[in-house]
Structure 1
């Protein structure tokens, strides 16, 4: 494949996220990740997103101030040739602060979403636990096999929680949530989420909570039951992970699926080093989410400072990148 000539506006660039003020959020994204939004609470920041419900903005370089969706429409070569891109950003990356329990919910797969949701993508997602309180849990499916009649009755009577499988979580855990899996993030969890570029959520149960207007939030029980996996499931175990060490950094795979792949990279070098893992080919872009520490990335000797909470987009066919600092990054690509 012929390598695309890179112009100045094809260097790596920072992104400014969109914010969401869902009722279960808190303050940790403001206090610990320097997310400056006039939203209370601040539940989510959509760090890398072209979804119309929350579009990221370029925050450095020649394209600063432009919507990421506009940049990628004008420069589809930034996405690469991976079939999942198909001219559109196929992923959405979030930071999530769950001060309170999220609703019990389920997401459709691509086929159901395409047929019933005006051609939208479905939603498969991965969670990386950045932090968790001592008693934090998540909901992952059911303890036992269910059927629609039993589930409907339990939802009507408010007894559904006794059937839900709750899993204790701790910092550095990884969970892959396949479409159709009934799930919920529990109070006290701080999560980085990588998912398909979709905002389809079918709520099954919301603890009878009231929103800021004093009304209960909409439930989507019929659609949820149409897509939910009602089989009992085994609590997910943490996969074996192996750190691979190279000069100045170490890396490990967290998740690889047909929608995206995610690595955790630990940078620890006082010298500026070329790091081949951050050079993209023509196949896919990369997104780097800094979840701890800080550093400097050099793209064609142009310095880009990054800090905890920053998100960097690296177009496909990038030059070799140089980095130094002490930081923990999540690296996402197709």
Structure 2
């Protein structure tokens, strides 16, 4: 199989902006607030279609069914593709929210899976902040009381971030993205979100968005909070690599390419998101161009491949 590029899937959001057009040159729908680009998805909400090559127009789910060993690795099977890869443009702040774990989702969301995720900060305005958990000592009762008073900000753990920072968001942790931040998000293949607080915003029709307070209170871990991870790069031939997340759901590296960097799939699929610069992916049977903002799915059967150029990529795998 060849490396797979997919047609972009744009999601309109109340908090979206135009960074996907201005930074990466995507032809986004005119007049829409586009908050998310779903780069690689086999979710019930949206399934990616291959863009170009011999599988042009074929859905990721169909490829996985027909070519699972080549795509995932010999003998590996996931049902649906296990990751959902996004770029998020938070022109305004997102709702305060939480995601369930696998067990809760299975029993309360018709057998669905939970959602653990991570964020790589592509760009951020000076002073931009994320909410990552709750202030130490916050109890469920205090949390509920502050919700009723519409003063939830008093218990939220805020951190300031800049481009290049990484944050890990396990299921059960209250979180939100602040305004003026562009993020590459790697997550479990789940679209389950429980909104807790939305700053009393209304949509274009004057309606408030739905909240899911009862379910959120079921799944929040009141002891969880997170700080940013500053990648620690290790030199390799032609560049440097930082391993930033190792969880049971995915592992993620940030790869900085100065000339050429060699990668081994080790019999598992890789996803690549080009967050800065441009380059080529060279493999035994050919090569694929990758521009800033684009993504590739590298099938396990590719084996070794080389990234050339002057660029920065986010690599994830299971």
TM-score range, shorter chain: over 0.9
SS, match of residue 241 in structure 2: strand
Aligned to 1:314: 298
SS, match of residue 13 in structure 1: coil
For structure 1, which segment, 142-151 or 190-199, has the greater mean C-alpha deviation from structure 2 after superposition? 142-151
Shift of 1:191: 0.6
Aligned to 1:139: 131
- Would you say how many aligned residue pairs link Structure 1 and Structure 2? 316
Tell me, yes or no, if the aligned pair for 1:211 and 1:217 is still in contact at 8 Å.
Answer: yes
- Aligned pairs for 1:252-331 within 5 A: 252-269=242-259, 275-277=261-263, 279-282=264-267, 284-331=268-315
User: Separation in 2 of the partners of 1:236 and 1:60?
Assistant: 40
User: Separation in 2 of the partners of 1:292 and 1:237?
Assistant: 20
Aligned to 1:119: 111
Shift of 1:81: 5.1
SS, match of residue 301 in structure 2: coil
Aligned to 2:81: 89
User: Separation in 2 of the partners of 1:128 and 1:183?
Assistant: 15
Shift of 1:212: 2.4
Shift of 1:306: 1.1
Tell me, yes or no, if the aligned pair for 2:102 and 2:113 is still in contact at 8 Å.
Answer: yes
User: TM-score, normalising length from structure 2?
Assistant: 0.94
Q: Deviations over 1:210-252 (max 9, x none)?
A: 112220000000000000012374x52535x432223323211
1:65 aligns with 2:57: yes
Shift of 1:47: 0.6
User: TM-score, normalising length from structure 1?
Assistant: 0.90
SS, match of residue 153 in structure 2: helix
SS, match of residue 22 in structure 1: strand
Aligned CA-pair RMSD: 1.8
SS, match of residue 217 in structure 2: helix
1:333 aligns with 2:317: yes
Q: For residues 288 and 82 of structure 1, do their structure 2 counterparts lie closer, same or farther at Cα, with a shift above 3 Å needed?
A: farther
Gaps of 5+ in 1: 1-9
Tell me, yes or no, if the aligned pair for 1:124 and 1:196 is still in contact at 8 Å.
Answer: yes
